[in-house]
Amino acid sequence: MLRSATRHQSVFFLILRRMRTPLILLVASMAISVLGLTLMPGVGEDGQPRRLGFFEAFYFVSYTATTIGFGEIPHAFSPQQRLWVIFTIYLSVVGWTYTLGSLIGLLSDRNLRQAIALERFARAVRHLHEPFYLVCGYGETGRLICRALDQMGRRAVVVEIDETRVAEIDLHAHRADIPAVAADAGRPEILQLAGLIHRDCAGVIALTNDDQTNLAIAIAARLLAPQIPALCRAERREVAANMASFGTRHIINPFERFGETLGLALRTPSAWMLLRWLTGFRYSRQTTGSTPPRGRWIVCGHGRFAAGLIDVMDDEALEITIIDPDPPDEIDHRWVVGDATGELALLRAGVREADGIIAGTNSDLDNLSIVVTARELNPALFVIVRQNRYANRDLFTVLNAEISVVPSEVIANECLSILATPLFLPFKRAVRAADEAWCALQLERLTRLMGEERPEIWGVKIVRDEAQALARWLDEGREVRVGELLRSPADRRTPLACAVLYLQRADGETLPMPADDTLLRRGDQLLLASAADCRQALELTLANDHTLTYLMTGEEISGGRLWRILAGKRKGLAAARS
């Protein structure tokens, strides 16, 4: 409250400082006009000399200076008074013109508009009475995050240094208003105004394109609000290490994340395909060459993106040729100096004999050109292409590369996995640590159960607030197994197209892909994958006592309208079978 009052006073005093001279001139001109009018001799109605009083003079000068013009009061003026009124009119015109000009200039002043915008923004944040996420940076990644949060029914507050991007927020169709301000998110006072220490702040997401700003946000979040999670983007390893030293919980480097994914695809292809399917990337299990081949690779561009991939490929002992116009002093790989968009450089790199190519420059147009040229020379190439701008997705979709790496999507998917389904990260770690046979078995089982379309990933905790019926059933000492729970409420003999991917006990025990006979306990957290329309059926089982009783015992208990509808469906299914 004290900080808010101070900022409000700073705006007020800024206005007073800028308007000090015009206001002094206006007040002085009014005072001189009133005083002179009281001193000018006049003639009353009876012909006797009479001067105006201060109130009468002030009243007359007020409506004269504001161009209202009622007339001469309380009687006709003498020539001396009229001469002074002429002086008063021109003096007031000068005073008002200067004052209004200064006011217009003040309203267009950048500092004042910024101060007013900050005050309005801080007021909007203070009036939030529901959990929200503080999103620092509204580039492509920030836009994806805010859109996803809005669809999930969660509020966001945005701090973005670019005024143009802030103005774009109002152009997007969000369900709820997003308080936003154009300011430097690296300043602690801005973060506090944006709600960093607000009681309803659920997390901080640092997505600016400057690693030092993201580091400043991570440090401020750790020191000012250590109890809330911070998700920070970092493209340089030294910055990520600095963040980690401050205890930042989630550090996201899109290039390292994809490097880990490529390493997984080379070591454990089934694990890569399983995670690729669950996270919504194109899944082509029946297509030959759908996993990165272990053979000869060409890497075009030697920036931060390619450097991470080269380290991974070195660990897998792959043969690599790099095309780049600026080789380092010490070269550890075969290097072709040149422009990879040209046919000559690709031929010198051995594109006709290569198994895969990585177009990893920081230019989308160059990457598109590289892929098109390389495919003309070798149509069988496995293509990994870097898409720098999400706005170019239509071009890359037509390109139909085996893997398109969009840094903004990598970061957004990682952030949303942490925010929406926190158990998905430990599940990913469990899959990465598993062997090829186990991953292949789980991939086959899940796709047979749910089909090859990406399933919906969601989580539930067995407590009264989220699974009322199931929690009450377990509290009464009765047993429920995973396989018993995942059955259709319309017919308990029919399994749902749903699976438990990960189970975490209240005591910390974890079970990846728990078996159907696994007993559930009060306080368990479940990570679930379900086909379309199955989530609603399972949520009904978790919340409705009648439905759960039917699944566990086969006993039908009469209840409300929904239960009668389900009972009618079961009778129809039974009649159809008979």
Closest C-alpha among 414, 429, 420, 421 to residue 206? 414
* Segments of the chain with pLDDT less than 70: 1-11, 280-289, 557-578
CB atoms within 10 A of CB 304: 15
Closest C-alpha among 302, 304, 366, 361 to residue 337? 302
- 255-406: CATH number: 3.40.50.720
What is residue 289's predicted lDDT score, i.e. its pLDDT? 43
What is residue 162's predicted lDDT score, i.e. its pLDDT? 92
Token pair recorded at residue 100:
């209004």
What is residue 331's predicted lDDT score, i.e. its pLDDT? 75
Q: Does domain 2-107 have CATH number 1.10.287?
A: yes
Segments making up each domain of the chain, as ranges: 2-107, 130-252, 255-406, 455-578
| Alpha carbon distances (Å) from 110 to 17, 118, 188 | 15, 12, 21
Q: Which fold has domain 455-578?
A: Alpha-Beta Plaits (3.30.70)
- Side-chain-side CA neighbours of 349 within 13 Å: the count stands at 35
Strand spans (E) along 85-221: 132-136, 155-160, 180-182, 201-206
d(CA 463, CA 88): 79
CB atoms within 10 A of CB 409: 20
Same fold, 130-252 and 455-578: no
Q: Which CATH entry fits the domain spanning 130-252: 3.20.20.370, 3.40.190.10, 3.30.70.250, 3.40.50.720?
A: 3.40.50.720
What is residue 575's predicted lDDT score, i.e. its pLDDT? 53
What is residue 109's predicted lDDT score, i.e. its pLDDT? 74
What is residue 5's predicted lDDT score, i.e. its pLDDT? 44
pLDDT one-digit tens code per residue, 257-311 = 889 889 999 999 999 999 988 876 443 333 334 789 989 999 999 888 888 899 8
pLDDT one-digit tens code per residue, 520-536 = 999 999 999 998 789 99
d(CA 276, CA 446): 13
What is residue 565's predicted lDDT score, i.e. its pLDDT? 59
What is residue 283's predicted lDDT score, i.e. its pLDDT? 33
What is residue 332's predicted lDDT score, i.e. its pLDDT? 81
pTM of the model: 0.74
